[in-house]
A and B are shown apart, each in its own frame.
Chain A
Amino acid sequence: PCRAQPKKKKKVDVKKEQAQKERMKKKLKKLEKAPPELIPIEDFITPLKYSESNRVRSLPALSSEESERRVLLLKKWCLFKQKQDEAEKKAIKALVESQQEALKELRLESEELFEAAIRRDEGLFPFERAGPSYTPPLPGYDPPEGKCVDITRVYTQ
């Protein structure tokens, strides 16, 4: 009598525990199957304080001469950019033609030099260069000291 009852309890308990574990596993699987939460892009969300009405600028309306001038300027700009683009393309074409001519002549001279010239230059890319600034660097300039604290929020999925 003393031995039989605890045995039954164990069986029932074990079964119940197993059923519980399976239910938990199923719930976990369901949660994992759900698509992960998207990380918000902070640049695309305007904070609400910038949409208040007192923030709206009050400027005089555009006169017709001003809008006329703007339209004409935009047209001039369009033409200027088109000419610039055409000139660039022409220059690149001339560059390529000059190189093809040089390679043709080289081929007439010797095949091995030609092969050496056609080979890819592994050390060329990645090519990094700092662009030009408005004024040249000032020799012996001591920039003011300061500390930069990075407060970007990092999200994990």
Chain B
Amino acid sequence: MSSRRSRSRQSGASRITDDQIIDLVSKLQQLIPELRGRRPDKVSASKVLQETCNYIRSLHREVDGLSDRLSQLLASTDTDSDQAAIIRSLLM
């Protein structure tokens, strides 16, 4: 990979070894649902990192959407105290 050659030009403080990158990439691949089924040598490091970033961003967006919806629901419904108590006891 051409990226490995250019990596050696970095300053000593921020140098990341190839082994670390390979380790990181292989472990990240297990976490991301899209890349889990593929063979490790078929997927490049940059693709795995890109997919990780995209996956985290999509999770953020999902939580944003959910919190949006939740705030709307909470605004419309009035959860009174005994309902809340029931819910809390069942969630415990």
Are A and B physically bound partners? no
